[in-house]
Amino acid sequence: MTGNRAAWGTISRDQIVAAATRIVRAGAYENMTMRSLALELGVSPMSLYRHVRDKDDILDEVVDRLLARAWRPSSNHVEWEKWITSAADKLRRFLVAEPAALHVYLRHPVVTPAAISRMNAMMDVLRGALPDDDTARRAYAAIHTYTVGFAALEFSRSRWSDSSDNADDLVVQLASYTTREQFIDGLHALIRGLQC
Amino acid sequence: MTGNRAAWGTISRDQIVAAATRIVRAGAYENMTMRSLALELGVSPMSLYRHVRDKDDILDEVVDRLLARAWRPSSNHVEWEKWITSAADKLRRFLVAEPAALHVYLRHPVVTPAAISRMNAMMDVLRGALPDDDTARRAYAAIHTYTVGFAALEFSRSRWSDSSDNADDLVVQLASYTTREQFIDGLHALIRGLQC
DNA sequence: CCAGACTCGCGTACATGTACGCAAAAGTGT
DNA sequence: ACACTTTTGCGTACATGTACGCGAGTCTGG
């Protein structure tokens, strides 16, 4: 017998990602550490690194799986603006609800399968609605930027307790401008501007 | 004698922030750790915590000092759109050039003195250009969101080496859509849309 | 001037991600 | 079957932020 060593081939990349996905789905992203993950898989922490580059590598794949189930607009809107709005709002919700996703989106460009599917779907709609390809690309980039930016600020605000009471009225008012309505409002302004 | 203990009153909050500012200004933000900071101040790491809540507390103040010198538009543009564009671009540059600043902006609402000055200046301009106060506030919020979002994506892209060669053409094209021109382009679309 | 309260510097300790290299298990060619 | 290479699990170690509490220095009311 081998002391206390786990059997050869105990873990695979898929199992690691699956376990991580389960943990994140359970809302325990903050407590998902390499050590806790290893413990759950009955393996030593360093063993994970045989199958995975680093923690972000795992998160990339976890987030892709979650995104695949989260990005599609609620229904097939006839008007393209509604479809785009719904798609953008879905991504915003996703990023705010899933800190792991925001982490990934802010760390590097996301080019995983689900993200690419989503991009292609949005580009198809934008290409059909705007004069030329270049305009569509610029529109996509601007909308994406606004969406991720909004999600980042909305999330950062959510973990904020106003410790200082000397709070400027304007500050408070603006800091609280991270509601869904605000998002839609700004997004519509952006879309209007992109059509000119 | 007191063994090796630093003299009473050796450090103050101001000195800590000043030292941290020096380090960040020297571009060594990544290497600014509580330990290195303490070492430079001739003090034990834990001593810092008598004067500072945590590392982010220091960074907040450092970033405010740097922001104060970085946010103003280059010149007094007559047209408000140019002034706003310049101000937004200044913030974008600042956030991309200074990782510490991006970190702070993504972590919680920034309500330090320089940030408030900047906000008030922008609000003054927007109030003068748009029909009513509410519109101005919405405009500010949207522009701020877009600016911070763009900076975050631009920065995340800069630390990216395209490891996969199966890279979709579209992906590459869009991932590289983080240039100053793209920023200005999207910003102008947004501003156009806000005026309707 | 002195006792008690308060401020401050610090030693220890812990959780985290992960670099490095050893050794056991599995695979491979002969 | 045997020598080898490759794959895999893991022990150790380090840098990081920071919680906790001790004891020394300073201040304050009587």
DSSP conformation letters of B50-98: GT-SSHHHHHHHHHHHHHHTT-S-SS--SSHHHHHHHHHHHHHHHHHH-
C1’ D10 / CA B53, Å:
38
B residues 110-129 lying closer than 8 A (beta carbon) to A: 111, 116, 119-120, 123
What average pLDDT score do residues A7-19 get? 97
Question: Which two tokens mark A184?
Answer: 């839609």
- Backbone φ, ψ for residue A37 (5° rounding): -60, -45
Q: Which of A159-173, A179-193, B132-146 has the lowest mean pLDDT?
A: A159-173
Which nucleotide is closest to the Cα of B49 by its C1'? D18
Query: Which pLDDT band holds residue B2 (cuts at 50, 70, 90)?
Result: very low
Residue of B108, B147, B185 with shortest CB distance to A156: B108
pLDDT digits (tens, 9 = 90+) for B6-28: 999 999 999 999 999 999 999 99
A residues 126-145 lying closer than 8 A (beta carbon) to B: 137-142, 144-145
Distance in angstroms (rounded) separating the CA atoms of residues B166 and B157: 18
pLDDT digits (tens, 9 = 90+) for A106-165: 999 999 999 999 999 999 999 999 999 999 999 999 999 999 999 999 999 998 876 665
pTM of full prediction above 0.75? yes
Distance in angstroms (rounded) separating the CA atoms of residues A89 and B23: 40
Distance in angstroms (rounded) separating the CA atoms of residues A3 and B30: 41
Contact A122, A137 (CB under 8 A): no
Contact A163, A115 (CB under 8 A): no
